[in-house]
Amino acid sequence: MDTEGPEIEGIERVDNDIWQVPLGYKPGMRVPGRIYLSDKLFTNLEKEAVDQVANVATLPGIQKFSMAMPDAHVGYGFPIGGVAAFDAEEGIISPGGVGFDINCGVRLIRSNLEKSDVDGKVNNLLDSLFKAVPSGVGSKSRIRASESELEEIFTNGSRWAVEEGYGVEADLTHCEGEGCIEGGDPSQVSAKAHKRGRPQLGTLGSGNHFLELQYVDEIYDPVAAEAFNLKQGQLTFMVHCGSRGAGHQVCTDHLRNLTRAVEKYKIDLPDKQLACAPAQSEEAQAYFGAMASAANYAWTNRQIIMHHCREVFGQQMNMDADELGLDLVYDVAHNVAKLEEHDVDGGKKQVYVHRKGATRSFPAGHPDVPKAYRAVGQPVLIPGSMGTPSYVLCGKQSAMDVSFGSACHGAGRVMSRSGAKHTFRGEQIQKDLSGQGISVRAAHPSVIAEEAPGVYKSSSEVVDVVDRLGIAGKVAKLMPLGVVKG
């Protein structure tokens, strides 16, 4: 097909890798849309995703642009890969800009080991990890948090886990927001969300969630890599999961509340999933308190999973924590709304930045970047899909100008789960990956088919776009050795 001109009528190319959805593409747009795509990624762009970018642009108080990152694809409400900032006074807060899996995210753990240290041991490691971390539908935690502990988790996030012995202080200082969004309000988390959350703490979940054993294959930015303590050939480990049923229920409950608020505040919406309320209204602040609580649960969840993985490594490698050096490099949230300060029209402004399937990408010098990384920018972690590379990037200054300090979050799907199951057989994918030296464990082969590398865009292509735009810079490429699928 001709990739020079827009395939979807009405979209304009305004620069290399930047496509504009102009005002008037849909009635009621307050700002234009911006979609960041290479020519190649443009060929996978769905019209429905463009419509969703335009829908978001109609929301009150939106600043500059309704944006979609290069991994964008159709979601509901916001597209996946959608980013939008709303004035903290005049704007809105919407669960449709966060999603059901609140603070679904990724953490990267480095080690003192090299790839060669696990030669012949990968299968045993994976089997032990698969046992140690409950995964799949219906899996239950071995941790029995009391009601008051759960409230503490909803309020303070990962700190609870570290204080309970599931980690060390450095895990907090190397985590986005130190594993907590301030303003978590357990009183806004329903009894139902509590009931779903309690038995699932420390569980992986299913679908695209995974644990992945990797090694550093290539370093692009030696200075940032040194700051992140990453070296070529080094063994690393990645955890991808979210807030489980607690987060899903928080979103369900408040979405219901906010659909009523839409009528009360007379907000005209093109999609019911964009239900929202004025940022300072009781309804929006109630959602924000509950959303922050679910985000805090998710960080605690990933913290506990990492702890169990460290134990497995210790046992399997017969090494203590100091020898293993399984330090948290960083942890990023994919699905959250945050109150942040940004430069808008020459002045500083408080905005609620919604990132749905997008990663924060703050540059060097930003006070919210951990001290250890402040000279280079925060780590931005972009997981691949089974068999494809993952990337570590660092936040860059352009992100503050171009995308409210945001970058992509992954590769982005191009095929439905049902389409994937018709196209691929899990057993075959498992065999093919094994031929490439990548072992996979999953509750059922159909999960492997649904998540086959071929259902995703190229993570390399997606990462190259954010690198070229200067919103995050490539630091290292990680190749998979083994994957545990939820």
Partner 1 sequence: MKKYEYLEHTADARFKAFGATAEEAFANAAEAMFNVMIDTSGINPQITEYIELQAPDLENLLVDWLSELLYLFEVNMVVFSSFEVFDIEKKGDEYLLSAKAEGEPLDLEKHIFDTEVKAVTYNDLGVQITSQGVTVRTTVDT
Query: Which positions touch partner 1 (CB under 8 A)?
Result: 46, 73-77, 80, 99-101, 136-139, 192, 195-196, 205-207, 245, 248-249, 251-252, 255-256, 259-260, 271-273, 275, 413-419, 421, 443-444, 446-447, 450
Report, in Å, the least distance between residue 93 CB and partner 1: 16
Answer left, alpha or beta for residue 271, where phi above 0 means left and psi between -120 and 50 means alpha: beta
> 376, 349 in Cβ contact below 8 A?
no
Quote the least distance from Cβ 444 to partner 1, whole Å: 5
For the chain, how long is the longest CA-to-CA vector?
63
Provide, rounded to whole angstroms, the least separation between the CB of residue 205 and partner 1: 7
Query: Are 189 and 181 a contacting pair, CB within 8 Å?
Result: no
Which residues are CB-contacts of 208 (< 8 A; sequence separation ≥ 6)?
240, 385, 451, 486
Inter-CA distances, 23 with 5, 30, 154, 382, Å:
19, 7, 40, 31
Q: What is the SS3 string spanning the chain?
A: CCCCCCCCCCCEEEECCEEEECCCCCCCCCCCEEEECCHHHHCCCCHHHHHHHHHHCCCCCECCCEEEEEEEEEEECEEEEEEEEEECCCCEECHHHCCCCCCCEEEEECCCCEHHHHCCCHHHHHHHHHHHCCCCCCCCCCCCCCHHHHHHHHHHCCHHHHHCCCCCHHHHHCCHHHHCCCCCCHHHCCHHHHHHHHHHCCCCCCCCCEEEEEEEEEECCHHHHHHCCCCCCEEEEEEEECCHHHHHHHHHHHHHHHHHHHHHCCCCCCCHHHCCEECCCHHHHHHHHHHHHHHHHHHHHHHHHHHHHHHHHHHHHCCCHHHHCCCEEEEEECEEEEEEEEEECCEEEEEEEEEECCEECCCCCCCCCCHHHCCCCCEEEECCCCCCCEEEEEECCHHHHHCCCEECCCCCECCCHHHHHHHCCHHHHHHHHHHCCCEEECCCHHHHHHCCHHHECCHHHHHHHHHHHCCEEEEEEEEEEEEEEC
CB of 70 to partner 1, least distance (A): 15
Closer residue to partner 1 in complex, CB, 34/248: 248
Q: Least distance (Å) from partner 1 to the CB of residue 61? A: 21
**Nearest CB to partner 1, comparing residues 224 and 241:** 241
Nearer to partner 1, 112 or 190 (CB): 190
Say which amino acid occupies 311.
Answer: E
Give min distance, CB of 54 to partner 1, in A. Answer: 15
Per the residue annotation, which of 209, 409, 422, 444 is the catalytic one?
409
**Under 8 Å between Cβ of 292 and 185:** yes
Q: Which is nearer to partner 1, 310 or 421 (CB)?
A: 421
Instruction: Output 76 or 220, the one with its CB closest to partner 1.
Output: 76
Q: How far is the CB of 384 from partner 1 (least distance, A)?
A: 17
Min separation Cβ 245 and partner 1, Å: 5
Residue 77 CB, nearest distance to partner 1 (Å)?
7
Instruction: Name the residue nearer to partner 1 (CB basis): 201 or 472.
Output: 201
Whether 342 sits among the annotated catalytic residues: the reply is no
* Active-site residue set: 409
